[in-house]
């Protein structure tokens, strides 16, 4: 394949277009791992273990005691390429060319290119959201399509747990006890409490029906059959526990044409409070962007991010394809800020 510089749509225009394609409104994990763009091929991030230690008292005229420095580590991870193309075969091209007699050939071909590029961009954005869900589910990004290649960000083992009694056992599950224990572990690791939970509708339903929680709100009118989400968060707040930050049920269609959950429906994910970084989604530089730069094509506003071109086979039958290329990976810069609990049977 070769980049088709004389296509009806220029690489610069097509790239500008795909970068404006809106992300699916259900894909909101970039609120936890926001997008970052840099002209890099691998991400370097630092993790520090910050501990506030008390200084020692000393006698008058005695020398001060030395303190201890916090640990600081730097890690690197290569960004994987995420790309897709949609080809227009020889017959499709001939049928479009036939429209020339009506004076509409150029518009029809341009529209086909933009449509294919948009579909490709949406697929790239969906795969990136899948990677965000993957890393939030276990602290690792696993690329099944690359033979299970894995980036493990080192979430402590004590932060990946299973509830002693599944929360779906609404009569006996101790949700308050579980959250208090998990929050204590989280606080010991980070020095602050978790800021909120990400849950599925299934997990939220189990929490709102929990017998012990409903008993806490029993009054003159008796025990409510089910809690409202506001009541639930009020109970958690009274115990100094994190509330539900958002409910996430987004799905994506995989290569086998099956709709799969981006986040497991049986997990509770604890994340840091607002203003404390858990990580980010790193977009980097692509080989396609480098090719464009070498040819003198300006990619605005930056070569980092999705790039779109029209490719053409250099041998018969000379098929063309709209191609969208990206390098991207979610990064956990604070792996201790993630806590994942399996709460369903």
**Architecture of the domain whose range is 2-50+74-154+279-330:** Super Roll (3.15)
Across the chain, which distance is largest between two alpha carbons, in Å? 99
Q: Answer whether 270's CB lies under 8 Å from 338's CB.
A: yes
Please tell me the least confidently modeled range out of 22-26, 32-36, 267-271: 22-26
pLDDT band at 219 (very low <50, low <70, confident <90, very high): low
The residues pairing with 244 across neighbouring beta strands, listed in sequence order, are: 197
For residues 203 and 317, the model is more confident at: 203
Please tell me the pTM assigned to this model: 0.86
Question: Residue 62 — very low, low, confident or very high, per pLDDT cuts 50/70/90?
Answer: low
From 2-11, 182-191, 288-297, 318-327, the region with the lowest mean pLDDT = 2-11
pLDDT at 264 over 70: yes
Percentage of the residues of the chain whose pLDDT score is greater than 70:
81
Measured CA to CA in angstroms, residue 105 lies from 116, 200, 213 at distances of: 17, 48, 65
Q: Is residue 72 very low, low, confident or very high in pLDDT (cuts 50, 70, 90)?
A: very low
User: Residue 71: which pLDDT band, with cuts at 50, 70 and 90?
Assistant: very low
pLDDT for 245 beyond 80: yes
> Which of 89-98, 115-124, 194-203, 294-303 shows the lowest per-residue confidence on average (mean pLDDT)?
89-98
* Burial (Cβ within 10 Å: 0-12, 13-18, ≥19) of residue 1: middle
User: Could you report the per-residue pLDDT of 249-261, keeping only the tens digit for each?
Assistant: 999 987 778 899 9
- DSSP string for residues in 239-258: TT---EEEE---EEE-TTS-
C-alpha to C-alpha distances, 139 to 77, 111, 135, 158, 226, nearest whole angstrom: 14, 41, 5, 12, 33
| Residue 342 confidence (pLDDT) | 97
State the alpha helices, DSSP H only, in 249-337. 287-294
Length of the chain, in residues = 345
Domain residue spans in the chain? 2-50+74-154+279-330
Judge if the upstream peptide bond of residue 126 is cis by omega within 30 degrees of 0.
no
Confidence of residue 56 (pLDDT cuts 50, 70, 90): low
The DSSP output letter for 221 is T
pLDDT in tens, 301-327: 788 999 999 887 767 766 788 999 999
């Amino acid at each position: 394949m070769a980049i088709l510089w004389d296509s009806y749509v220029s690489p610069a225009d097509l790239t500008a277009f795909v970068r404006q394609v809106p992300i699916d409104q259900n894909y909101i994990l970039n609120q936890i791992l926001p997008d970052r763009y840099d002209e890099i091929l691998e991400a370097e991030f630092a993790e520090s273990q910050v501990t506030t230690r008390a200084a020692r008292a000393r006698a008058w005229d005695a020398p001060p005691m030395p303190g201890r420095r916090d640990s600081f580590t730097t890690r690197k991870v290569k960004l994987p390429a995420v790309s897709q193309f949609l080809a227009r075969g020889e017959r499709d091209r001939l049928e479009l060319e036939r429209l020339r007699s009506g004076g509409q050939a150029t518009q029809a071909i341009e529209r086909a290119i933009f449509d294919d590029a948009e579909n490709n961009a949406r697929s790239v954005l969906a795969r990136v959201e899948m990677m965000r869900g993957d890393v939030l589910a276990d602290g690792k990004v696993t690329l099944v399509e690359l033979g299970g290649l894995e980036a493990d960000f080192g979430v402590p083992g004590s932060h990946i747990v299973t509830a002693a009694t599944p929360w779906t056992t609404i009569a006996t599950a101790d949700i308050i006890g579980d959250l208090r224990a998990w929050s204590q572990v989280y606080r010991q690791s980070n020095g602050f409490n978790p800021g909120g939970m990400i849950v599925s509708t299934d997990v939220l339903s189990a929490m709102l029906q929990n017998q012990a929680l409903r008993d806490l709100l029993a009054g003159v009118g008796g025990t409510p059959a089910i809690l409202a989400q506001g009541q639930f968060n009020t109970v958690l707040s009274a115990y100094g526990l994190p509330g539900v930050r958002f409910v996430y049920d987004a799905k994506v269609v995989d290569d086998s044409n099956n709709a799969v959950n981006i986040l497991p429906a049986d997990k509770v994910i604890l994340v840091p409070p607002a203003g404390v970084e858990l990580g980010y989604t790193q977009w980097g530089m692509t080989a396609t962007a480098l090719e464009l730069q070498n040819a003198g094509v300006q990619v605005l506003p930056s070569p980092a991010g999705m790039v779109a071109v029209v490719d053409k086979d250099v041998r018969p039958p000379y098929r063309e394809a709209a191609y969208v290329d990206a390098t991207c990976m979610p990064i956990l810069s604070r792996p201790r800020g993630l806590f994942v609990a399996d709460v369903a049977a």
